Structures are given as structure tokens and as C-alpha cells.
Amino acid sequence: MVMIPFWRRKTYPPGFLLGGYKVIRLIGEGRFGVCYLVDLDGKEYILKEIKPKALKKSGNKVIFEEKMLSNIDHPSIPKIIDTIKNNNIYAYILEYKNGKTIENLIFGDNHVFTSDEIYKVGIKLINIIKYLHKRNIVHRDIRVPNVIINEEEVYLIDFGLARLINNERYVPSVDFSYLGHLLLHLYYSSFKKNNRKSKPWYNELELSSSELNFLKRLLGVDEEYKNIYDVEKDFLALDNFNTRFNF
């Protein structure tokens, strides 16, 4: 492993050069890394620097993302382009996917997701999960900050917690639970609270019986799904989407 001094580094300013890549701006910071939008020869990329403290604490577990992405080829998942490893930095360069995260859309832009938007996002995420599970990979972090939308395109990012499925600690149903919570965020974007007392989501949202049963199974309230194919089948059969899209 590359040895890196374990002190808290300040973020890099615009114009700073990292391995030949010029920093455009800071994008965000997570538990294990700091992401920048960078430029090389007029093309934009994402540079993800792994935090020295994370490397010290978790070692090789932190760099699973590099290993996972090196074996993935899907248009909705950023490709890994390059790595920078020296005594000052451990980082990798990712394909830049333009758009906004669901988190930014809901909490920044106050975007209200319609039924057809929920369907389009849901089915595209299910297709991505299907691709990953077929390759024995569980993402384990399908949350609103990690899903980017750009018009009709949906991208899944941040594979820092992704692992190979072993049916012990790393199981497919983890992704189903995360998908359920993400879909709840989409449903709640149009929710208007009528009273001060909070209720459980299944009593608060106006859902069809099939939507209710589907989400309960995703979230493990009822018998949880065993595989992504059953998730896909039930999602396509939801009443609201059947009516709207004439399935």
C-alpha cells in the first residue's frame, strides 16, 4: 500500500494540479473520500481522493471501489479512467456523469417527482442493480446523493461500500432495502402534510395496494425479496404504472 501522511489536508483550490489534472471545483465530501471536478486536455472528470485517515483505519477495504469499477462496463455507471498514487495522494479518476443528484433535485430544487418519473427512475435503477447482481456485486449505498439524473438518463455513483456478494454479510437484499427508501423519497416529494402528527409512511402516503405491498417487501416489513428478477416483475406490475403506461 502507498504510504500517505495521515493529517487532515485542506481541500484543493480551483486551478490546483493533481497528477496533471486541474481542479475546477470541489463537488463533495463523503466518509472515505473527497470528490473534485477536474479537467485534462479540455475534458472533465471526477477525481476522488481517498482520505488518509480512511486508508489508515480501513486499509484495503477503502479501495474496493477501484477494484469494483475496474470490472464494470455499464453506461449508467462511471468508468474508472486513471489512478494517482504517490506519497501525497491516493486518488482515482472517474468518468464524469453530468446531471443532478436526486438529493439536489428534491432538497435543493424542490422538484416534485411525478408517477411517470418515479417509474422511469425505478426501472432504470432496477436494471442497474440487475447488472451488478449478475456480476455478484452488491452496491450497499443506493441513496439520493448517489443517484444522478440528467433528463432521461439515470446514473448510479459512489461504489465505496460495494462488495462481492457472499450471502453472509454482503447479501442482495441490502440493495432492495436501499431502493425502497429511495423510492419513498420520490413519493414523498409530492406529499403535503395535513396535520402535525407524523404517521408511518404506509399510513401517510396515498399508495395503491400493489405499491404498498411492493414497498413493504423491499423494505423488509413483509417477506423480503430474494432476487432482483422478482423485484423487477412486481415493479412492472404496479397498478399506477400499469394504468399510466398501458401495460
In a domain, 5, yes or no: no
Q: In this structure, what C-alpha cell is assigned to residue 198?
A: 407524523
- Both 73 and 113 in one domain: the answer is no
Tell me, what CATH number does 207's domain have? Answer: 1.10.510.10
- Both 111 and 205 in one domain: the answer is yes
State pLDDT tens for residues 215-236: 999 999 999 999 999 999 999 9
- Both 56 and 170 in one domain: the answer is no
Out of 80, 95, 110, a domain closes at 95
User: Is residue 141 annotated as part of the catalytic site, yes or no?
Assistant: yes
The pLDDT-based confidence of 1 (bands split at 50, 70, 90) is very low
- How far is residue 225's CA from residue 219's CA, in Å, rounded to a whole number? 9
Who contacts 93 (Cβ-Cβ below 8 Å, separation ≥6)? 21, 38, 45, 46, 47, 48, 80, 81, 82, 83, 84
Distances (CA, A) of 168 to 68, 163, 172, 218: 19, 12, 10, 19
Mean confidence (pLDDT) of the chain: 88
Could you tell me if 81 and 93 are in contact, meaning their C-beta atoms sit under 8 angstroms apart?
yes
From the CB of residue 171, how many other CB atoms can be counted at a distance below 10 Å? 16
- Both 116 and 238 in one domain: the answer is yes
The pLDDT-based confidence of 145 (bands split at 50, 70, 90) is very high
- Both 33 and 125 in one domain: the answer is no
Backbone dihedral angles phi then psi of residue 139, each to the nearest 5 degrees: -75, -45
The pLDDT-based confidence of 4 (bands split at 50, 70, 90) is very low
Q: Please check if 48 is assigned to a binding site.
A: yes
From the CB of residue 186, how many other CB atoms can be counted at a distance below 10 Å? 23
- Both 86 and 114 in one domain: the answer is no
pLDDT of residue 108: 96
- Both 88 and 163 in one domain: the answer is no
- Both 110 and 181 in one domain: the answer is yes
The DSSP code for 207 is -
Of 116, 141, 158, 234, the active-site residue reads: 141
Grid-cell match 449478475, residue found: 134
- How far is residue 136's CA from residue 15's CA, in Å, rounded to a whole number? 40
- Both 134 and 154 in one domain: the answer is yes
Out of 95, 123, 147, a domain closes at 95
State pLDDT tens for residues 89-106: 889 999 999 999 999 999
- The percentage of the chain sitting over the pLDDT mark of 90, rounded to a whole number, equals 69
Q: Which domain holds residue 216?
A: 100-245
Who contacts 246 (Cβ-Cβ below 8 Å, separation ≥6)? none
Tell me: pLDDT of 153 over 60. yes
In a domain, 6, yes or no: no
DSSP string, 98-116: -SEEHHIIIIIS-PPPPHH
State pLDDT tens for residues 46-64: 999 988 776 666 666 667 7
Tell me, what CATH number does 63's domain have? Answer: 3.30.200.20
Helices (H), 52-158: 52-58, 64-70, 102-103, 115-134
pLDDT of residue 7: 39
- What's the number of domains the chain is made of? 2
Out of 40, 74, 95, a domain closes at 95
What interhelical angle do 209-218 and 228-236 show, nearest 10? 160
In a domain, 197, yes or no: yes
In a domain, 232, yes or no: yes
- Both 146 and 216 in one domain: the answer is yes
- Both 206 and 87 in one domain: the answer is no
pLDDT of residue 2: 34
Tell me: pLDDT of 3 over 50. no
- Both 58 and 137 in one domain: the answer is no
